[in-house]
Amino acid sequence: MHTVAVLALDKVIPFDLSTPIEVFSRTRLPDGRPGYQVRVCAERREIDAGAFALSAPWGMEGLQDADTIIVPGVADPTASLSSAVRDALRSAAADGTRIASICSGTFPLAATGLLDGLRATTHWAAAGLLASIHPDIDVDPNVLYVDNGQFLTSAGAAAGLDLCLYMIRRDYGSAVAADAARLSVMPLEREGGQAQFIVYDHTPTPQGSELEELLTWLRDNLTRDLTLTDIAARAGTSTRTLIRRFRDQTGTTPLQWLHRARIRQAQHLLETTDHSVERIGNRVGFSSSTTFRDRFKLITGVSPQTYRRTFRAEPLRVMEISE
C-alpha cells in the first residue's frame, strides 16, 4: 500500500494539514481496498496548530519509508527550518521519495534546497516573498500546482486539494481519482489556474512620486484609446524616459499597467453587474470584444464568462419548507 506521510511543522495551518489526510484516507481502489496509508509525523510530540495543539502519532521516523511526503503550509513561512527536518527531507529525497507541498509549505521545502533550479508555486500573495528569498527557484504565481516529477508544489488552500487529486490520478488512474473527487465534492480538474484569484491592485506608488499624478489620470481615463505617445505627452516626457520611470517605480511598463487596470475594472463589473461581456469590454477601454477576451484570459487565465460564473455574487435564496 502507498504510504503518505504528512509532516506537521510548528504553526502548521490546520486546513492545509487536514486536506491530504482526508483526501488520501478516503481514497478507495476499485475492489474497495484503501489506496493509501496516512501518517501524521512531527519533530516533537506536540505541535502548535494555532487554534489548537496537535499530538502527532509519528515522529520523524515516519518519513523514512514513506512513498510520499506532504509538507502543509505554515503560518510563518519565513520561520527557520530545523536541521532535523531539513536532513530528513533531503534524505527522503535521496531515496527517491515523492515530496509535495501545500500553500506556504513550499517555503520549508524550498529551505532544503531541493527546489533550486526548478519551477514551483505557492499562494499568490506569498509568491513575491518566495522569489525574493529563493532566487534560484522559478516561481510561477499563476498556476494551481507544479509537477516536477519527484517534487510537487501547490498554491493556496483549495489548490492543495487539486494537487492531491492529481497525485491520486497519477498513482491509480482517472477512475479512482474521479471517485475521490466526488467524495470531496470537487471537480477532478478546475478550469484555469491561480491567476483568476489574484487581486490585481495597482502597483503602489509612494505619495509625492513623479508618477502619482499620471497614474491617477490613467485610472480616470481607462476608456480612452491611449497610446504610449499619448501617455508620454501627458507626462511631459519622452516615451523612453516614461518607460524607464515606470519600470523603476511600478516594475512594469505603462501599457502593461494600463491593461491590468482595465482588467481589474472588468473583473469588478463581471462580479457586480449583468452587463454583457461586450459592453464591459467597451466600458473598460477595449474597442474590440475579441481583444478584450484575449487580454482578459492572458492576464487571469480564464475567459470573462468563466470568471463571472466563478465569482458572480448571487443573492441568497431562502428555501421554503412546507409543513
Residues known to be catalytic: 103
CB 273 within 8 A of CB 280: yes
Measure CA 185 to chain center: 20
Contact partners, residue 34, CB within 8 Å, separation at least 6:
1, 25, 27, 28
End-to-end Cα, the chain, rounded Å: 51
**Rounded Cα distance, 100 and 71, in Å:** 6
What does the DSSP assignment read for 2-55?
Answer: EEEEEE--TTB-HHHHHHHHHHHHT-B-TTS-BSEEEEEE-SSSEEE-SSSEEE
198 residue type, one letter: I
